[in-house]
Amino acid sequence: MISRKHVETILKINGVSPTSEDEQIRSILLSARYSKDEVDTALMVLREDTKTKVTRVDGLHKVFRTGESLRSEEIANLLGIEVTMEDRIEERNKQRAISFAQYLSVWILSVVLAVSGILFYMYLHKVGVFHPSVQLTHL
């Protein structure tokens, strides 16, 4: 983790104050062989409030380097706003269930569709009950 003292020391050695412009600090840190990500983190450490430093940097570490979820307080500190969460959202059951009525209606629809397809095929090709030799006699 990048500490504020370490960044300030590097800047002091190069004759730049920590309150200088971001571009000047960025060029000094890049010349000190920091990567672009480390430079961004160092700038964030320099510009942040000293009271919430631990929470913000650890929160960023959680977001970008682990699969761990953040608490609402950490999110509020990262965003720089105050968020109060009073209402809890219930987690829904992730299991999908099909009711008996749905199962039955899908089964009936598939049987009707299959029988209709077979009868249509028989009608087009004049097979079975639609063959010309089969005559329906009316009584």
pLDDT tens profile 88-100: 666 666 667 788 9
Token pair for 36: 């672009």
Q: Is 89 inside a domain boundary?
A: no
Question: What pLDDT score was predicted for residue 26?
Answer: 87
Q: Is 114 inside a domain boundary?
A: yes
**One domain, residues 110 and 66:** no
Total of domains in the chain: 2
Question: What pLDDT score was predicted for residue 56?
Answer: 53
Q: Is 40 inside a domain boundary?
A: yes
Question: What pLDDT score was predicted for residue 80?
Answer: 66
Residue 105 belongs to what domain range? 100-130
- The tens digit of pLDDT for each residue in 48-75 reads 766 655 545 555 555 555 566 666 676 6
Q: Which residue has the higher pLDDT, 13 or 134?
A: 13
Q: Is 91 inside a domain boundary?
A: no
**One domain, residues 123 and 62:** no
Tell whether the model's pLDDT for residue 44 goes beyond 70: yes
Q: Is 72 inside a domain boundary?
A: yes
d(CA 7, CA 25): 10
Query: What would the DSSP string read from start to end of 83-118?
Result: ----PPPPPPP------HHHHHHHHHHHHHHHHHHH
Residue whose C-alpha is closest to residue 48's, from 90, 94, 3: 3
**One domain, residues 8 and 75:** yes
Token pair for 62: 């959680």
